[in-house]
Structure 1
Amino acid sequence: MHDYLQELTESAKKTRQVDKPLPFSLYSSITEQHILNAPIMKPLLICVLAGVKQLGKDSEIVCPAGGFVFLSNSPTIDMRNIPVNEEYLAVLIDFEYSDFNQFKRTTNQSKKYFQGNLDYMLAKTLQQYMEWSTYSHPAAWHFRKKELLQIIYQCGYDDVGVIAEHPSLSHQLQDLISEDISGDWSVDRVTAKVALSESTLRRKLKAEGTDIHAIINRTRLGHALHLVQTTMDPIGRIAERCGYSSQSRFTDKFKQLFGITPSELRKTRTNRDET
């Protein structure tokens, strides 16, 4: 491993000790994780620092340590996180659609993903971004995110300009629900928030291949997946935070979508038993 990648990895590990929200996530595992239908609600940059990440139903996308993959805000994707020697370790940063306004689009078509390598410039930029985030004010985070996108572009990855799909109605509803993830999201509340009749909303969502309840469920479970991967909160507490009054119902819904229970996924991160 290059020295600058080792420095980046050590810097990332230090952020585990930071007890405050940060504009990135650190995912790790000591045994292989296989997660089905992982929701990608916003354009997502995944930088693999250790191990290998595989994406797609047939693992057609392979990203080894020292590489990155940038995913469009597509609905879902299957993924495997594979430790090599020690652990799997990756930094994840999601972006708002507006962050990409700095790029002039020459086509209406979006890329589903693109890949690249963490060269010296990208690695140092990412390291500085993570270190700066630990003490900076949250109001300034989006400026550095836009700068990170510009650095990726300047490193020759033109596809960053077309990686973000225009937010669909489904994406807009996911953002809305995410603002109150544990709230009571009845159909009436959703229609009132988006100022659409129930019939119009259902028709528009059907055209996108989904429905209100599926979006609510996917948004809540997507947040739950993030909490299982990044915290050591008890599973029951995660269920409650994501709007589920019954832990057993939450576990059933989680396994139905992702193909693994929260407790099984937690065990890939640690040898401790968590309930």
Structure 2
Amino acid sequence: MTERKITSRTGVGSSAHVLQVQPLLAKNITVDEPTIILIRHGTKIIRWARNEIELTSGDAVIVGEGESFDIINTPCSLSGTYEADWLSFSSEVVTDYTCRNSRCTKINEAYALEATSESFRKSFYHTTDVFTDSASIPDALAIGRMHEMLGWLDEYGICFGAHLRNGIERKIRRLISSDASHTWNIKHVASQLGMSEATLRRKLTAENTSFSKLIADVRMCRALTLLQVTDLSVTQIALEVGYESPSKFSSRFRHRFGFGPGQVREEMITMGTQATLTREI
């Protein structure tokens, strides 16, 4: 079975396959890049600001950059798994793309594409190849394929909207996300952002957050993603997000989400050889 991991290219985007074996609710998950998610098995519910959409096998969802959602992934009763693939776009790719449909609705939060066509799904997986086969696909062609997917959104009459939240929180999240294992401190981050520590603290307070809260949240959201899309052990994931103690990591993870990291993977060892990772289009 192919090792599961996040594949990415600087200035292009990233892709991964999600596998989950228990129905779990993850609250207040922030999506850091414009993303398309294609559901293979099970159902996905996304809730935000009194809105809710539900998706099932064959559906896709378009998610805007920097928005936060409550997400419920529920395994299929037949396969016993929730499986999906996501394709994230670097902000530069989206900015550089010229929308050909002047009537497109700008999506800043989430939008469901129900029962996507076979052609759409083929194009989606053709695009994910730019990450799994990066050695033989030049950057220019990789960006071209990403633009092809944005062209599909044109056909559906939608496009990614401009990010609406441009405060200091977004900048810090992007910085921390670049290396969640790094020992970040507020003085260093303030310096990188060209301001004093006191100014940074005031700005964070004005946005109703704090430096320590942001670091913890970015690390925990990253950990949840790694649990869903990689075969790394819980101990390895703890290290990947800056925790040398697996027990301390597990405690923080449970405090953030209400369930332990092991629950995401509880039956994955026994089901791993049964779970299909083939493309279904």
- TM-score tier by shorter-chain length is 0.7 to 0.9
Q: Distance in 2 between matches of 1:139 and 1:225?
A: 31
**How many Å apart are 1:90 and its aligned residue?**
0.5
Residues 91-119 of structure 1 show CA distances to partners (whole Å, capped at 9, x for unaligned) of 11222222222246999x86311111321
Q: 1:50 aligns with which of 26, 41, 59?
A: 41
Whether 1:68 aligns to 2:65 is no
The residue aligned with 2:274 is: none
Higher helix share: 1
Q: Distance in 2 between matches of 1:114 and 1:222?
A: 22
> Structure 1 residues 45, 271: closer, same or farther in 2, change over 3 A?
same
- Partner letter of residue 116 of structure 1? L
Unpaired runs of 5+ in structure 1?
1-13
- Partner letter of residue 82 of structure 2? Y
**How many Å apart are 1:66 and its aligned residue?**
0.8
Q: Distance in 2 between matches of 1:168 and 1:94?
A: 22
**How many Å apart are 1:19 and its aligned residue?**
7.5
Structure 1 SS opposite 2:17: strand
Q: Percent identity?
A: 23
Q: Distance in 2 between matches of 1:192 and 1:142?
A: 33
> RMSD of the alignment, in Å?
2.9
| Contact in 2 for aligned 1:37/1:258 (Cα 8 Å) | no
- Partner letter of residue 113 of structure 2? G
Which aligned pairs between 1:187-226 and structure 2 lie closer than 5 A? 187-226=186-225
Structure 2 SS opposite 1:60: strand
- Give TM-score, length-normalised by structure 2: 0.79
The total of aligned residue pairs comes to: 256
Q: 2:113 aligns with which of 113, 116, 129?
A: 116
Higher strand share: 2
Unpaired runs of 5+ in structure 2?
9-13, 272-281
The residue aligned with 1:38 is: 29
Structure 2 SS opposite 1:73: coil
Structure 1 SS opposite 2:86: strand
| Contact in 2 for aligned 1:59/1:79 (Cα 8 Å) | no
The residue aligned with 2:242 is: 243
- Give TM-score, length-normalised by structure 1: 0.81
| Contact in 2 for aligned 1:82/1:88 (Cα 8 Å) | yes
The residue aligned with 1:157 is: 157
